[in-house]
Structure 1
Amino acid sequence: MNALTPITASRRADFPGVADWAYLDSAATAQKPQAVIDAIAAAYGPEYATVHRGVYARSATMTERFEAARSTAARFINAASPNEIVFVRGATEAINLVAQTWGMTLKAGDRILLSRLEHHSNIVPWQLLRDRTGIEIDVAPLTADHRIDEVALEAMLTPAHKLVAVAHVSNVLGSVADIARIARAAHAVGAKLLVDGCQAVPRMGVDVQALGADFYAFSGHKLYGPTGIGVLWARGDILSAMPPWQGGGSMIETVTFEKTTYAPSPTRFEAGTPHIVGAVGLAAAMDYVSAIGLDVIDTHERHLAGLARTELRKVNSLRLFGPEDSSGIVSFAMEGVHPHDIGTILDEEGVAIRAGHHCAQPLMDLLGVPATARASFGVYSDESDVDRLLRGIARVKRIFG
């Protein structure tokens, strides 16, 4: 495999799970390149050992690889230090971690501001926190082309707001938020900014320092890495002040029945044996996309999404959602056809899409539909996938008249 092959040629050969399949569900979970599969196989096989505890050579080597993965993650998003990287199961756990630690400093009368397009993982943890603390949740609207209305968001912010939590890229619409602008607005009233970066990190370069965020969360499996691993990044001073959220091995300094003292961050947030192989696989995935270039991937996926939107717009009974420059994601609905039926027929044609509410039911309510069909592209996608999608849609029209 040549990780530097131009993306204009199909990279499908790097992905044994794709073959001749038109896999257009990358926003749900990405297929894995052979480089990641090989890294995982080696880490579970001849290289496997526990980390941080063993005094034997292989344990020391695996500990070095695990911590090297943390450094890779820090470089990948330009964190100031690897110690700002906490390994978690995914973005869902990362956001819950913030809600259950930093969030518990909030009190009745404090407010959190979300947006209308958020994934349930960036809604429900804050509702749980509201039920415990009495805080209030506000919701910023969207523009006519389904972006976060940043003007309205800025106008809604008050000194009572302690946190703004938004998606960098919508998992339904592909719309990209101006995170730097939102960060400035949040900080102007003394609020922190948490960013759900799940859909951003696989397809665009992320610099958390330049963005001005305070927390940034993402999952590994959408980034061509394994499931069960993800990253919470937080500014060092914020992370150091946060209490642990789970107790157990590894996250302690000393334990007696009278008192326990805790390890410094990020170790205090990683109780128990970590997902060692997951971290190794995630690092391999980051290396893979970095070798191609995130800007190259972004251009490639935007081209495919734009091509799909142009052709789908010609279908009279089809309604498109999201902005014209959506980032690798195209959601749509067909009059008189449930998205699940679209997905089933496309599957018979060898095309995999997502059909449902995409864990964004409040957004579905705003769009006025119970669900959408969603095609989402990856580094392995090419124009032939768009062609197969269109042929499948034509068959849907024939079947449903």
Structure 2
Amino acid sequence: MDGRQIQKDFPILDQQVHEEDLVYLDSAATSQKPRSVIEAMDRYYQEINANVHRGVHTLGESATQAYEEARRKVASFIGAASEKEIIFTRGTTTGLNHLARGLEAHLSPGDEILISVMEHHSNLVPWQQLCQRTGARLVYVYLKEGRLDLDDLRAKLSPATKIVSLAHVSNVLGVINPIQEIARWVHEVGAYLVVDGAQSLPHLPVQVQEMDVDFLVFSGHKMLGPTGIGVLYGKETLLQELEPVEFGGEMIDFVFEQESTWTDLPWKLEAGTPPIVEAIGLEAAIDYLEDLGMARLAAHDQELVTYLWQELQKVDGLEIYGPPSAEGRSGLVSFNLTGLHPHDVATALDYEGIAVRAGHHCAQPLLAYLGVPAMLRASLYVYNTKEDCDRLIQALETTKEFFNGTF
């Protein structure tokens, strides 16, 4: 995969920052958008802008057709059994909050929800709140050599476990969790498996039926699509059982003065005017990814992260977090330079044209577990190259010299 050639499809990458060619290494926060996505959204506004599922006029029917075609595209992309299993949301966070509300009826005092210490706040706080509302208990799985401790996970699964919610790929450590294997263990105790796919859908081939996950959530903006669009996948039988958490237009069947009835899936769980143009943008993003090939993308990802991990090892005074190798790691590496605050390093890197993330990465329990207040994260994607990695390494060396650090 030729990252330099691919960069030509992304208008934003053709610019300089502080008179340096931009190297964007923050795709785990949000990816850049190819021209085809931008143009697809522009076409909607210029040619068929209308609300969906309502008007019988030509524009309304065209908009509805485009919106539902985007749903079919998503269903095919993740290997869902039906487009009824695809619920459009505002993003991963919204999907997880919907589940934390929708599954409330399945919990009683003394039940347990199992998550890991590496979870993003979006896959942690909603479950905390659910436990506080129901009297259930939040149980954590910890790490072993920078990865999810599978022995700890198996030991903590029990008949009391009702929900297990895990990241497929950690947004801090980059580790890829063996979801298919975990799904088998979870179902043996009769629990539901929720998977946060925000960091895996952009990088890995994901087939929900093969993995046998009960629910999967992800965001469009991390996989070349626009912000404001996400997906909640659920097995149809389970989605049928979920009560809506938002009410109003689109999701009703009949409304009487004192009661209402709900329409069928998927619209039952999509109240109000949906993210129409964003869904069309997501479809265009999936088209782009499928043209590249997800298997090829995953191989490119592994090659780049292995190269970056090896080169970072050569930087004196640099500590890498996560497993002690690049194997089984998605396209990101988190690290710190001894004696320097990560925000200072990130600011210095920006002056070299390098965009990385610094902070707690919405994973404060993980950083507390690791004993660090903040860290740097370089995250790679389809438009990155080994030359980008080299630029980062050189900029880190320049930063060390600037701060006159002793390592």
Q: Tell me, yes or no, whether TM beats 0.5.
A: yes
Structure 1 residue 298 displacement after superposition: 1.2
Judge conservation of contact 1:74–1:81 (CA < 8 Å) in 2.
yes
In the alignment, the residues of structure 2 paired with residue 135 and residue 58 of structure 1 have an alpha-carbon distance, to the nearest angstrom, of: 49
Judge conservation of contact 1:90–1:220 (CA < 8 Å) in 2.
yes
Judge conservation of contact 2:75–2:82 (CA < 8 Å) in 1.
yes
Aligned to 1:15: 10
User: 2:11 aligns to what SS in structure 1?
Assistant: coil
Aligned to 2:243: 243
In the alignment, the residues of structure 2 paired with residue 228 and residue 185 of structure 1 have an alpha-carbon distance, to the nearest angstrom, of: 34
Structure 1 residue 104 displacement after superposition: 3.3
Aligned to 1:366: 369
Q: Which amino acid in the other structure matches residue 277 of structure 1?
A: V
Aligned to 2:41: 40
Structure 1 segment 359-398 matched on structure 2, within 5 A? 359-398=362-401
Aligned to 1:335: 338
What do you get for the CA RMSD once the two structures are aligned? 1.0
Aligned to 1:188: 188
**Residue-by-residue CA offset, 1:247-273 (whole Å, 9 max, x unaligned):** 100100010112100011211111000
Provide TM-score, normalisation by structure 1. 0.97
Deviating runs (4+, > 3 A) in structure 1?
6-10
In the alignment, the residues of structure 2 paired with residue 135 and residue 291 of structure 1 have an alpha-carbon distance, to the nearest angstrom, of: 45
1:286 correspondence with 2:286: yes
In the alignment, the residues of structure 1 paired with residue 236 and residue 217 of structure 2 have an alpha-carbon distance, to the nearest angstrom, of: 15
Structure 1 segment 229-268 matched on structure 2, within 5 A? 229-268=229-268
Structure 1 residue 9 displacement after superposition: 4.9
Structure 1 residue 10 displacement after superposition: 3.3
**Residue-by-residue CA offset, 1:201-246 (whole Å, 9 max, x unaligned):** 0011000001111000000000100000000000000001111111
The percent of aligned pairs where both chains have the same amino acid is 47
Aligned to 2:167: 167
Judge conservation of contact 1:7–1:292 (CA < 8 Å) in 2.
no
Give 5+ residue unaligned stretches, structure 1.
1-5
Aligned to 1:210: 210
In the alignment, the residues of structure 1 paired with residue 275 and residue 217 of structure 2 have an alpha-carbon distance, to the nearest angstrom, of: 17
Aligned to 2:17: none
**Residue-by-residue CA offset, 1:34-57 (whole Å, 9 max, x unaligned):** 000000111122221111001101
User: 2:47 aligns to what SS in structure 1?
Assistant: coil
**Residue-by-residue CA offset, 1:112-153 (whole Å, 9 max, x unaligned):** 000110000000000111111110010011111x11111210
In the alignment, the residues of structure 1 paired with residue 171 and residue 160 of structure 2 have an alpha-carbon distance, to the nearest angstrom, of: 29
Aligned to 2:18: none
In the alignment, the residues of structure 1 paired with residue 230 and residue 395 of structure 2 have an alpha-carbon distance, to the nearest angstrom, of: 34
Structure 1 residue 105 displacement after superposition: 2.5
In the alignment, the residues of structure 2 paired with residue 368 and residue 115 of structure 1 have an alpha-carbon distance, to the nearest angstrom, of: 16
In the alignment, the residues of structure 2 paired with residue 229 and residue 162 of structure 1 have an alpha-carbon distance, to the nearest angstrom, of: 28
Provide TM-score, normalisation by structure 2. 0.96
Aligned pair count reads: 395
Aligned to 1:83: 84
Judge conservation of contact 2:3–2:382 (CA < 8 Å) in 1.
no
Structure 1 window deviating more from structure 2 (382-391 vs 82-91): it is 382-391
User: 1:223 aligns to what SS in structure 2?
Assistant: coil
**Residue-by-residue CA offset, 1:6-38 (whole Å, 9 max, x unaligned):** 446531000011124100000000000000000
1:320 correspondence with 2:320: yes
Structure 1 residue 316 displacement after superposition: 2.0
In the alignment, the residues of structure 1 paired with residue 246 and residue 106 of structure 2 have an alpha-carbon distance, to the nearest angstrom, of: 17
